[in-house]
Amino acid sequence: MAQRRIDLVLDSVKRLLRIGATANLLNLLQKQHPADLAQLFSELSDRDREAAFSILADRNGRLAMEAVSELGPEAGASLLGTRSAEDIARLAQEVPSDDAAALIDYLPEDLSTAVLDLMRPKESGVVENLLEYDEQTAGRIMNPNVFALSEDITVGEAISELQGSRDVEMVFYLYVVDERRHLVGVVSLRRLLLVSPETPLKRIMTSELISARVDTDQEEVARQVASYNLLAIPVVDPENKLVGIITVDDVIDVIKDEATEDILRLAGVSGDERVFSTPLDSLRLRFPWLAINLGTAFLAASVVALFERTISQLTILAVFMPIVAGMGGNAATQTLTVIVRGIALGELTWSNARKALFKEVIVGVGNGLATGIIAALVVWLFRGEPIIGALLGVAMVFNLFVAATAGTLIPLGLQAIKIDPALASTVFITTFTDVAGFASFLGLASLYLRLSGKVV
Amino acid sequence: MAQRRIDLVLDSVKRLLRIGATANLLNLLQKQHPADLAQLFSELSDRDREAAFSILADRNGRLAMEAVSELGPEAGASLLGTRSAEDIARLAQEVPSDDAAALIDYLPEDLSTAVLDLMRPKESGVVENLLEYDEQTAGRIMNPNVFALSEDITVGEAISELQGSRDVEMVFYLYVVDERRHLVGVVSLRRLLLVSPETPLKRIMTSELISARVDTDQEEVARQVASYNLLAIPVVDPENKLVGIITVDDVIDVIKDEATEDILRLAGVSGDERVFSTPLDSLRLRFPWLAINLGTAFLAASVVALFERTISQLTILAVFMPIVAGMGGNAATQTLTVIVRGIALGELTWSNARKALFKEVIVGVGNGLATGIIAALVVWLFRGEPIIGALLGVAMVFNLFVAATAGTLIPLGLQAIKIDPALASTVFITTFTDVAGFASFLGLASLYLRLSGKVV
């Protein structure tokens, strides 16, 4: 729905809440798509959101819960947590078990235990099983309610089974299992329509199929679904028994989450933070990065301290030294980001790393020369200091070379030792360029002072 | 396919190329999935890639072209461009018109004109039509080869039509059109199986359906498909006539591309750059950002220059001034990134902007106090300079407040005037924190020198 329509509905919801027109409000909310409701909820104030959710949850639990699922587990659980355990247990049974598990996982521990105790034994068992898989694995995000056909039936029998099934997710691929539920093949719904009803399913199924194991990392699942253009991927246990299905809409969520994590980490923000995390959470999540940065900043400052005498003789150095460091920092951020994204998209691997390094060094030195010459000219023309300008230019070329090398090798090195290369964030990489920038510029200047006989 | 298997195949391909075992190589290549071939191609050297592609293209044009499409339009076109126009025209007809259009668009202009002239008139007409839509719109990325049913037929007739169709993309949703091809409804393949063959299609179709117009921005299309969990979205012209379909696999590509663009832009890199853009392209794409940064760095330097006399009296200021600027820059990058990603994910809008600003200011001032106190203590304890430490701490609190405010308001302001907020990259935002950091720290220091009577 376009933002304009959302805004109109939002205004009506606020107005109806204010005048207490519950019946009209319920009517309006019930006409919305769950995704639009989620958008509405996220734009309401805390009080209005809880009031609107409460009205909807009492009368149309399924729609309310679909909207909560669309909000994402963290925001969804925080909205759901405003209700009693009894209510939550009832509502949780309105959505597929994977969505319920994701929400319950984010509730405060007391509440989630109470909810699981109150749910119907079968339902809570399924949810508890899902919660036993590690976070960010296929097992955690799969829907265990998967439709499967026996390999020994005919196409006609398969169609009748399909007609009798309800509430199963995504029946576009039909998975085929043997008598012990081992995954043995797949057949598309369309293919069923193209052959006569007597054909044995075995004859038309494809037995080469791509599946994920319960412990496969969700990022790897997303990569497979995306690169093979799948609509869903079956999930099997270590014995190859079919235990669930992951559909492409879940994969889209994973792709978005992983991109968000990369973007945030590169900037020195925890991948868990969101724009409306509480101030206290954000403060706590960002402080360690800033503390590390403070440490590296003192490291860079101690390099400057080595040259305090040089600066006291030539104060103009203090004016231009931030330029060398800043340009290096920006160039390093450029290189780092291109490299980290290349790794994430699978375009950059060890086998072509040398090519990438070679390219980055050319780009770094090239841009170092271009900006260094401009900087030197500016200092010469506007400050009348040709020598200082030349020192600045040379230091910039050197520092952009360091930026290119560090920006390429550090994330590749982290990847090699299986640490997320996005953690080589700006915070760490700029340590190198700060130190190299200050050391080269001030070092060259003190060498110049010494050689020109201005200091002994 | 796991990276390990790719590596094994890669080694075999290299070996077979070296010994010239063309038949074996062809055999090996033909066993791979197009996505895996694309991965292989991207990891081979330029010469090996062209040789392998040439062998495959001569014998299995379709598979070769599917792999080229998977490489993405830029890399794909550069590989395809190594062939003659005749070859390209023949090969382009092996893939859907949207993929062909994307590739031909990236060929050098002479070559793309020659190719379009050489293609069969009907095919090249379809491709040329697609190329007339603006880049990044639904029209550009849709597949015009969409399967549609007339609203006046029965379910049984629909199934026969489906059985007779071939090579149409994604027949999980069946779109229903009136006699002038206006889009009037949709029915799922599964629903066809659940009713008797005599049922009129009109009776079971859903007429409330979500569609995109040819000029809808591809990001909006992706947002709709993702939030409504669709597998495909129909594309209509301004008169609501059905002209194409966009499937979820294309949407995944859009989501990845948009995330890449945001990540790169935040770091001051053009969204068009990739890890293996040529060094010259990268140099040219990054230079403007570095040049702008050089300008802002000189601006910050001119602030320092205002305090040259203060620095010459108290050189220790030069040692600590990069700390104030650097901490502000990092805090601003944190805020900026959280805000930009919140906007991109649709979580942050104008209606909740005040809440976000309030939060960021609390977090900024909070972390400013925490890191400022640490910094002050370090300067006091290790350099024995309590006053300088206190000045540093106060300047840091002020600068982290500026960082939070600028990091929130600048991207929101850009969004309001319809400029991509990710363009408020680190380069621009750190100008504020550099200037505010130098001005506050050096300003406080010169005030102190004056008040304490050390200068007149």
DSSP calls for B279-328: HHHHHHHHHHHHHHHHHHHHHHHHHHHHTHHHHHH-THHHHHHHHHHHHH
The confidence band for B174, taking pLDDT boundaries of 50, 70 and 90, is confident
Task: With respect to residue B143, please indicate whether it lies within any of the assigned structural domains.
Answer: no
Q: What is the model's pLDDT at position A237? A: 92
Say yes or no to pLDDT of B228 above 90: no
- Note whether B128 and B195 are same-domain residues: no
Tell me the residue type at A170.
M
- Note whether B179 and B64 are same-domain residues: no
- Note whether A310 and A436 are same-domain residues: yes
Q: What is the model's pLDDT at position B456? A: 43
Q: What's B79's domain CATH number?
A: 1.25.60.10
Q: What is the model's pLDDT at position B2? A: 61
Comparison of pLDDT for A9 and B127, the residue scoring more:
A9
Q: Residue A191, exposed/middle/buried by CB under 10 A (0-12, 13-18, 19+)? A: middle
A296's CB contacts (< 8 A; 6+ apart) are A427, A428, A430, A431, A434
The total of structural domains in chain A comes to: 3
Query: How large is the average pLDDT for residues B329-334?
Result: 90
| DSSP secondary structure letter of residue A352 | G
List of chain B residues whose C-beta atoms are within 8 Å of the C-beta of residue A285: none
Q: Does A451 touch chain B (CB under 8 A)?
A: no
- Note whether A422 and A309 are same-domain residues: yes
The confidence band for A456, taking pLDDT boundaries of 50, 70 and 90, is very low
Q: What is the model's pLDDT at position B432? A: 86
The verdict on a CB contact (< 8 Å) between B311 and A311 is: yes
The verdict on a CB contact (< 8 Å) between A342 and B275 is: yes
- Note whether B312 and B431 are same-domain residues: yes
Give the residue on B whose Cα is nearest the Cα of A358.
B279
Query: How large is the average pLDDT for residues A78-104?
Result: 87
Query: How large is the average pLDDT for residues A212-237?
Result: 91
List of chain A residues whose C-beta atoms are within 8 Å of the C-beta of residue B295: none
Q: Which two tokens stand for residue A165?
A: 């099934």
Of B263, B308, B315, the CB nearest to A341: B263
- Note whether B310 and B446 are same-domain residues: yes
List the alpha helices (DSSP H) in A199-352: 201-204, 218-227, 248-266, 279-306, 308-313, 316-344
Q: What's B357's domain CATH number?
A: 1.10.357.20
Q: Does A299 touch chain B (CB under 8 A)?
A: no
Per the structure, the complete domain to which residue B183 belongs is given by 148-248
Give the residue on B whose Cα is nearest the Cα of A308.
B315
Q: What is the model's pLDDT at position A168? A: 59
The confidence band for B177, taking pLDDT boundaries of 50, 70 and 90, is very high
- The ipTM estimated for the assembled molecules is 0.78
Q: Which of B87, B108, B134 is the last residue of a domain?
A: B134
Q: What's A183's domain CATH number?
A: 3.10.580.10
Query: How large is the average pLDDT for residues A280-289?
Result: 88
pLDDT, one tens digit per residue, over A48-62 is 899 999 999 888 888
Q: Which of A79, A106, A135 is the last residue of a domain?
A: A135
Task: With respect to residue B76, please indicate whether it lies within any of the assigned structural domains.
Answer: yes
Q: Which two tokens stand for residue A75?
A: 């925001």
Q: What is the model's pLDDT at position B135? A: 84
H-helix or E-strand containing B98? helix B97-106
Q: Does B359 touch chain A (CB under 8 A)?
A: yes
- Note whether A369 and A430 are same-domain residues: yes
Distance CA B157, CA B176 (A): 13
Say yes or no to pLDDT of B153 above 70: yes
- Note whether A124 and A240 are same-domain residues: no
pLDDT, one tens digit per residue, over A121-143 is 777 777 777 788 888 899 988 98
A148-162, B232-246, B272-286, B362-376: least confident range: B272-286
Query: How large is the average pLDDT for residues A402-424?
Result: 89
Q: What is the model's pLDDT at position B362? A: 94
Say yes or no to pLDDT of B3 above 80: no
List of chain A residues whose C-beta atoms are within 8 Å of the C-beta of residue B330: 268, 289-290, 293, 426-427
Q: What is the model's pLDDT at position A170? A: 54
pLDDT, one tens digit per residue, over A300-309 is 999 999 999 9
Q: Does A319 touch chain B (CB under 8 A)?
A: yes
Of A190, A341, A351, the CB nearest to B260: A341
Task: With respect to residue A305, please indicate whether it lies within any of the assigned structural domains.
Answer: yes
Say yes or no to pLDDT of A427 above 50: yes
Interface of A with B in 231-250 (CB under 8 A): 231, 248-249
Q: Does B313 touch chain A (CB under 8 A)?
A: no
Q: Does B289 touch chain A (CB under 8 A)?
A: yes
pLDDT, one tens digit per residue, over B285-330 is 889 888 988 998 899 999 999 999 999 989 999 999 999 998 998 8
The verdict on a CB contact (< 8 Å) between A263 and B264 is: no
- Pairing of the two strands A173-177 and A183-188: antiparallel
Give the residue on A whose Cα is nearest the Cα of B344.
A260
Q: Residue A418, exposed/middle/buried by CB under 10 A (0-12, 13-18, 19+)? A: exposed
Q: What is the mean pLDDT of chain B?
A: 88
Q: What is the model's pLDDT at position A455? A: 60
List of chain A residues whose C-beta atoms are within 8 Å of the C-beta of residue B431: none
Query: How large is the average pLDDT for residues A375-395?
Result: 94
- Note whether A290 and A379 are same-domain residues: yes
Task: With respect to residue B265, please indicate whether it lies within any of the assigned structural domains.
Answer: no
Rounded to a whole number of angstroms, the distance from the CA of B117 to the nearest CA of chain A is 31
Find the farthest-apart pair of alpha carbons in chain A and give their distance in angstroms, rounded: 100
- Note whether A338 and A193 are same-domain residues: no
Task: With respect to residue B159, please indicate whether it lies within any of the assigned structural domains.
Answer: yes
Q: Does A373 touch chain B (CB under 8 A)?
A: no
Task: With respect to residue B38, please indicate whether it lies within any of the assigned structural domains.
Answer: yes
Q: Does A46 touch chain B (CB under 8 A)?
A: no
Query: How large is the average pLDDT for residues B368-374?
Result: 95
Q: What is the model's pLDDT at position B222? A: 92
Q: Residue B149, exposed/middle/buried by CB under 10 A (0-12, 13-18, 19+)? A: buried
Say yes or no to pLDDT of A4 above 50: yes
- Note whether A303 and A438 are same-domain residues: yes
Say yes or no to pLDDT of B37 above 60: yes
Distance spanning both ends of chain A, measured CA to CA: 74
Task: With respect to residue B254, please indicate whether it lies within any of the assigned structural domains.
Answer: no
The verdict on a CB contact (< 8 Å) between A323 and B352 is: no
pLDDT, one tens digit per residue, over A29-42 is 988 888 888 888 88
Q: What is the model's pLDDT at position B269? A: 84
Q: What is the mean pLDDT of chain A?
A: 88
- Note whether B164 and B127 are same-domain residues: no
Task: With respect to residue B443, please indicate whether it lies within any of the assigned structural domains.
Answer: yes
Say yes or no to pLDDT of B455 above 70: no
Q: Does B308 touch chain A (CB under 8 A)?
A: yes
Q: What is the model's pLDDT at position A369? A: 96
The verdict on a CB contact (< 8 Å) between A228 and B39 is: no
Of A334, A348, A351, the CB nearest to B267: A334
The verdict on a CB contact (< 8 Å) between A322 and B321 is: yes
